[in-house]
Amino acid sequence: MIPFVDNRSLDVINVSGAHDHKPTSYAANPPTLSIKMTVLAHAARDFAGQVAGRTVGLGIFNAAAYVSSSSLPCRVIAGSLGAVFGGLQAQRLAAAQIGTDNLLKRCSVVACTVVGATAGIAIASLGAYQPVVALAAGSALAITASLSKFCRKSHDYEDAIDTSKLAVFLVGTAATVSAVTVADTYLSPSVDLASKNIGVICEATLVEFIKSSLERCGPSVDRNTLNFNGKVFVSMSGLLPYLAATVLLNGYLSGLLQPKHDSHQFEELILPLIVGAIANGVRGACNARAVIEFNQRGIGIAKPDAPVIRPGIGPKQPEVVRMSKKIAIRFFLSICRNAVYDRMRRAGVGVVAASTLAQCIYGFFAQNRDLVYDLMKGEGWNRPMAPTDDALGDDEIKPTNLIDENPLKVADISVVVSSSDTSETSIEVSVPNSSETTNEVSTE
């Protein structure tokens, strides 16, 4: 592992040993397109995708509930979907964060995949809430371990084990232990839950298809101008507005609009679902505005020369691999929410209270699903700046090494030798923009 430093600026080091310090923070290029129009465009696209996806998903739920003379076929289908998408998400996360370069790591990835598939079956087909609780607790453990790793003050950058990556395996282990404790769900599983989860996969697929296809229709914010640290700051900045919106609209108001009994009727549920979609428009708008704000303040910048707002270029063909990851995340979070709601309803909690509590829990993880996707791509906390020597010898020049968080990207370092007079020669080390080209501009 190569020592890592911040990629904002490097010092100009003179042969004489003096340092002309440049600022270590900067703001990216200011946006030239309208910020207000960009934020509104994100809100509109997110709302439109949610309305279309929820409508189709509700239709599938309604049809599955009517067609199935027994709940067993729906449970088999829902369980199969849970296994596929739960296993897919676990495999992508484990492979990206744990690695596959030796036998032990490959076995860990396989174990995580099996665990994710097992949890997916139990949650999607039976409404088992124990795996949901274990995954939430394991996620908190992984976040704590990752944050401790990031904040740790250490000069040793040759560690072979990253605690935040191994925590992914701990999450899988917790889910495995809890998945075998679901005996109570076999006694009285909800009749409509499996049908609802079949509709969820159609909803998740259509939402991600629309978002991927239309994300460049109109001005778009490129969240990949930020590094992982900056993306975390954006997610935390937009958490409270989205949490308030989803609890109020998806939880309380939708609960009031629903019938007091559990129903699968299309005409009884379509209005609450459309009202709840407004919360996703709020989320898209707040996250887009946060990305622009952090770029303007120079916080967590990964691509200082890339425009944070890009002009619209029209619809584009979605990327299948990218969509599969996002569908897996959205589907898994949704079936976890449904399991929590179903558990509370079977315990005698009212529709409004159960809906509000379930959305409150779901909102936190839904706001951070972009970060889960980033982890599936192999991103993670940027390491702090390595210590530098302030007292270099007259004949010693130590240009600072630079590495991006992505190990496949190596910065190009150019050395410019200039002489203003015959008495002093300076060597300036500069790092040109090494931003990689990407089509990913979604703030979701």
Give 359's DSSP letter.
H
Which CA distances in Å does 194 have to 44, 47, 101, 125, 417? 31, 26, 38, 5, 69
pLDDT at position 416 is: 42
Neighbours of 104 (CB within 10 A): 10
Higher pLDDT, 160 or 236: 236
Rounded to 10°, the helix 163-179/103-126 angle is: 40
Percent of the chain clearing pLDDT 70 (strictly above): 68
pLDDT at position 29 is: 59
pLDDT digits (tens, 9 = 90+) for 286-321: 999 999 999 999 999 998 888 999 998 989 899 999
How does residue 169 score in pLDDT terms, banded at 50, 70 and 90? low
What is the residue extent of each domain of the chain? 35-376
Closest CA to 248 of 285, 271, 276: 276
pLDDT at position 418 is: 40
Q: What is the dihedral of CA 191, 131, 229, 222, to 10 degrees?
A: -20
pLDDT digits (tens, 9 = 90+) for 366-390: 999 999 999 999 888 876 544 444 3
pLDDT digits (tens, 9 = 90+) for 23-61: 344 555 555 568 999 999 999 999 999 999 999 999 999
